[in-house]
Amino acid sequence: MVPIGIDDPDDPRVAAYLDIRERDLVGRQGRFIAEGKVVLDMLLSGLRFSAESVLVLENRLAGLADTLRKAPAGLPVFVVAAEVMDRIAGFHMHRGILAIGLKGTDLPAEALLDTLPARALVVVAIGIANHDNMGSIFRNAAAFGADAVLMDDTCCDPLYRKAIRVSVGAALKVPFASFTGTAGFTATLVRHGFEQFALSPRGQTDIRQAKGAERLALYLGTEGEGLPENLLARLHTVRITMSAGFDSLNVAAASAIALHHFSQRGR
Amino acid sequence: MVPIGIDDPDDPRVAAYLDIRERDLVGRQGRFIAEGKVVLDMLLSGLRFSAESVLVLENRLAGLADTLRKAPAGLPVFVVAAEVMDRIAGFHMHRGILAIGLKGTDLPAEALLDTLPARALVVVAIGIANHDNMGSIFRNAAAFGADAVLMDDTCCDPLYRKAIRVSVGAALKVPFASFTGTAGFTATLVRHGFEQFALSPRGQTDIRQAKGAERLALYLGTEGEGLPENLLARLHTVRITMSAGFDSLNVAAASAIALHHFSQRGR
């Protein structure tokens, strides 16, 4: 690995890093931004995605030696002074470690299901539009060994910069795919032998009593509206019993409790 | 309740709301900022704190009628146009609902323990310096009926604006107090008859096997360093078993799992 020094923020070789914040909002044509050492390490481990380039502060380079050893030969590693980094990124980048990842081609949700083992735990996310929540769901999914996250098309992108950061890189590790049409996808999961559970404050079974299954799908909805009634009617519904008068739990916290319950040891 | 129209952002009656973001950082002399309808409702319910004034957008006033009925007679309710609100707050306040709360006098931690019932669940937070995590811990504490949150003096302020918002008002509901010197406080909890459990990735007992107690204290530390070894040596330690290769869980998620386990039904 030969570091490439960059002095000019307008150098075309670092154009992909320009004005990170603004570009987050408009998408970046098949690319995503990875931030920080842990996430870079996950990206370069090549579990699912490949890196296009790395951009680091000169004073961070030595500390990244072990991480960069995982990079494929020829991966450009651009090295800059703090002032140049901030001018490229458009704000103060105190972490000083960025990379561009390539999204690759989307895997259809059913194709992802075909790759799963006989014993499998998957998360089905419906309408999760908040990047913090999406990142936390991926982090919890990784922590409890979920095999995949399937998302309906109203969910936000788990490869958004903040979602990746909050996931501590789990969005680069846990396989995911999107689907259109929840009713059809529920039928697909039935065909693939999944028992399907939905978390809902009005769920029939206290999660403490919910029995697992060899193949299990856990549906998570938004905090405000929750999962639609016509969907709940077709699934096992489980509730997390809360204190009277404060029946409000963040979807990320709820996912932690449910995934912990259904994870390997609980099934 | 007679709304008071304010046209001038420099009107001294709304001085407490000026430049909210900056003032968050320097403290506000015994006051805190409450944002949004749910939090305002919690504040005006007068569970622990009292309000000094309310500032609302003129188009939000009608929707707040039920909430404002809970306010004490004479509470000033300032009403402003959107442009005035933004100029007072120093940024775009799309929620349009703010209030100033009064912190009152701090309760010493031991005095708070004296008020607790025979059967009690308390959280002991050590070194929680992130306002998101603090807010989430309060939200989970409220959801699972914890009776109090006790914090060492390296924790951040749960009445910081963002912590209150993330807690969805639970920071205004669940009693809390600070203490100095963890070793001494652990001894105090022993004297008060508490069984003490610490969450740690290296905990001796899987939380699924942890038996509760009539009076139970749950210690939570920071994600990075965790709880200090000399403290862990004096407590029951419990772990949340995770997937191999990704033993990382956010402290808020961990608190949700542990509080759910130890909450009323689990004890």
**Which CATH number characterizes residue B174's domain?**
3.40.1280.10
Question: In terms of domains, do B67 and B133 share one?
Answer: no
Q: Does B85 touch chain A (CB under 8 A)?
A: no
Question: In terms of domains, do B38 and B146 share one?
Answer: no
Instruction: Give the tokens for residue B219.
Output: 């210690």
What interface predicted TM-score (ipTM) does this complex get? 0.90
Q: Scanning every residue of chain A, which has its alpha carbon at the shortest distance from the alpha carbon of B207?
A: A260
Per-position DSSP letters for B153-164, written without gaps between them:
TTSPPTTSHHHH
Average pLDDT, chain B: 92
Residue B263's Cβ-count burial label (10 Å; 0-12, 13-18, 19+) is buried
**CB nearest A257 (choices: B136, B246, B256):** B256
Residues A70-85: tens digit of each pLDDT: 999 999 999 999 999 9
Q: Is there a contact between B143 and A264 if contact means CB atoms under 8 Å apart?
A: no
Question: In terms of domains, do B131 and B220 share one?
Answer: yes
Span B65-84, mean pLDDT?
Answer: 94
Question: In terms of domains, do A180 and A261 share one?
Answer: yes
Q: Does A199 touch chain B (CB under 8 A)?
A: no
Question: In terms of domains, do B37 and B122 share one?
Answer: no
Question: In terms of domains, do A113 and A228 share one?
Answer: yes
Q: Is there a contact between B136 and A206 if contact means CB atoms under 8 Å apart?
A: no
| Residue A264: per-residue pLDDT | 65
**CB nearest B246 (choices: A142, A240, A248):** A142
Residues A198-220: tens digit of each pLDDT: 999 889 999 999 998 999 999 99
Which of A212, A53, A223 lies closest to A136, judged by CA? Answer: A223
| Residue B224: per-residue pLDDT | 73
The answer to whether the CB of B24 falls within 8 A of the CB of B33 is yes
Residues B173-229: tens digit of each pLDDT: 999 999 999 999 999 999 999 999 999 988 999 999 999 899 999 999 987 778 889
Which residues lie below 8 Å from residue A191, measured CB to CB, with a gap of 6+? none
Q: Does A121 touch chain B (CB under 8 A)?
A: no
Q: Is there a contact between A266 and B142 if contact means CB atoms under 8 Å apart?
A: no
Helix (H) or strand (E) holding A31: strand A31-35
Instruction: Give the tokens for residue A68.
Output: 């960069």
Q: How far is it, in rounded angstroms, from Cα B176 to Cα B124?
A: 10
Chain B residues with beta carbon closer than 8 angstroms to that of A249: 139-140, 143, 256
Q: How far is it, in rounded angstroms, from Cα B25 to Cα A52?
A: 39
Q: Scanning every residue of chain B, which has its alpha carbon at the shortest distance from the alpha carbon of A132?
A: B132
Q: Is there a contact between A173 and B246 if contact means CB atoms under 8 Å apart?
A: yes
Which of B180, B185, B136, B189 lies closest to B158, judged by CA? Answer: B136
Residue A214: alpha-carbon gap to chain centroid: 24
| Residue B106: per-residue pLDDT | 87
B143 to chain A, closest Cα gap in Å: 5
User: What 3-state DSSP class applies to B236?
Assistant: strand
| Domain containing residue A135 | 109-266
Residue A61's Cβ-count burial label (10 Å; 0-12, 13-18, 19+) is middle
Average pLDDT, chain A: 91
| Residue B26: per-residue pLDDT | 54
Instruction: Give the tokens for residue A229.
Output: 């009634």
Which residues lie below 8 Å from residue A148, measured CB to CB, with a gap of 6+? A112, A113, A116, A120, A122, A123, A174, A175, A176, A177
Question: In terms of domains, do A73 and A137 share one?
Answer: no
Confidence of residue B264 (pLDDT cuts 50, 70, 90): low
Q: How far is it, in rounded angstroms, from Cα A156 to Cα A165?
A: 14
State the residue for tokens 């990206």: A43
Confidence of residue A52 (pLDDT cuts 50, 70, 90): very high
> What percent of chain A has a predicted confidence (pLDDT) above 90?
79
Chain A residues with beta carbon closer than 8 angstroms to that of B168: 248
What is the domain count for chain B? Answer: 2
Per-position DSSP letters for A135-153, written without gaps between them:
HHHHHHHHHTT--EEEEET
Helix (H) or strand (E) holding A134: helix A131-143
Chain B residues with beta carbon closer than 8 angstroms to that of A145: 242-243
> What percent of chain B has a predicted confidence (pLDDT) above 90?
79
| Residue A218: per-residue pLDDT | 98
Q: Does A148 touch chain B (CB under 8 A)?
A: no
Q: Is there a contact between B253 and A256 if contact means CB atoms under 8 Å apart?
A: yes
Does residue A29 surpass a pLDDT of 90?
Answer: no
Which residues lie below 8 Å from residue A47, measured CB to CB, with a gap of 6+? A172, A173
Question: In terms of domains, do A95 and A114 share one?
Answer: no
Residue A101: alpha-carbon gap to chain centroid: 14
Chain B residues with beta carbon closer than 8 angstroms to that of A206: 265
**Domain of residue A41, CATH code:** 3.30.1330.30
Per-position DSSP letters for B32-83, written without gaps between them:
EEEESHHHHHHHHTTSS-EEEEEEEEGGGTGGGHHHHTTSPTT--EEEE-HH
Domain boundary pick from A102, A125, A148: A102
| Residue A6: per-residue pLDDT | 96
The answer to whether the CB of A49 falls within 8 A of the CB of A102 is yes
| Residue A226: per-residue pLDDT | 82
Q: Is there a contact between A140 and B253 if contact means CB atoms under 8 Å apart?
A: yes
CA atoms within 13 A on the CB side of B256: 29
What is each CA distance from A222 to A137, A198, A218, B17, in whole angstroms?
12, 12, 14, 32
Question: In terms of domains, do B44 and B12 share one?
Answer: yes
Does residue B25 surpass a pLDDT of 80?
Answer: no
Domain boundary pick from B44, B71, B102: B102
User: What 3-state DSSP class applies to B239?
Assistant: strand
Q: Does A22 touch chain B (CB under 8 A)?
A: no
Angle, alpha carbons A19-A25-A26 (nearest 5°): 90
**CB nearest A256 (choices: B248, B256, B265):** B256
More confident residue, A263 or B264: A263
Question: In terms of domains, do B88 and B131 share one?
Answer: no
Domain boundary pick from A52, A70, A102: A102
Confidence of residue A225 (pLDDT cuts 50, 70, 90): confident
Question: In terms of domains, do B78 and B208 share one?
Answer: no
Does residue A150 surpass a pLDDT of 90?
Answer: yes
Confidence of residue A266 (pLDDT cuts 50, 70, 90): very low
| Residue B1: per-residue pLDDT | 76
Does residue B129 surpass a pLDDT of 80?
Answer: yes
Question: In terms of domains, do B98 and B118 share one?
Answer: no
Does residue B267 surpass a pLDDT of 50?
Answer: no
Q: Does B143 touch chain A (CB under 8 A)?
A: yes
Does residue A92 surpass a pLDDT of 80?
Answer: yes
Q: Does B241 touch chain A (CB under 8 A)?
A: yes
The lowest-confidence range among A32-41, A246-255, B107-116 is A246-255
Residues B239-255: tens digit of each pLDDT: 999 887 776 799 999 99
A110 to chain B, closest Cα gap in Å: 25
B266 to chain A, closest Cα gap in Å: 9
| Residue B266: per-residue pLDDT | 44
| Residue B253: per-residue pLDDT | 96
